[in-house]
């Protein structure tokens, strides 16, 4: 059994992946919120207003979640520097 320790999260690598993931997630959530199952407020909006609200939601959701993930990664790196990282035990198994 091999043991590995996660000592650092490369915050720069998050710049590539996190916005794409949360952009897609925000688009799907926005579709449900504004078009498929609209809230009481969104139900009364015209299509153009719904579309604009959806775009604004996706941009804000992606930005807020990106900042949150970057802060968590930075905090993790700071704590790991003081206490040590997460140890992951990996065991290779034979295919059945």
- Tens digits of residue pLDDT in 54-74: 999 999 999 999 999 999 999
Q: Is the whole-model pTM more than 0.85?
A: no
Instruction: State whether the Cα torsion 10-16-21-27 is positive or negative.
Output: positive
Q: What tokens were used for 80?
A: 């790991």
Instruction: Give the other-Cβ count within 10 Å of 58's Cβ.
Output: 20
Q: What are 30-49's pLDDT values in tens digits?
A: 999 999 999 898 999 999 99
């Amino acid at each position: 059994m091999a043991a590995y320790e996660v000592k650092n999260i490369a915050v720069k690598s998050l710049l590539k992946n996190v916005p794409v993931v949360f952009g897609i997630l925000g688009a799907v959530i926005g579709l449900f919120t504004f078009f498929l199952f609209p809230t009481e407020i969104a139900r009364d909006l015209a299509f153009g207003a719904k579309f604009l609200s959806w775009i604004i939601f996706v941009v804000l959701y992606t930005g807020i979640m990106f900042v949150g993930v970057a802060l968590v990664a930075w905090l993790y790196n700071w704590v790991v520097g003081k206490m040590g990282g997460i140890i992951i035990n990996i065991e290779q198994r034979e295919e059945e």
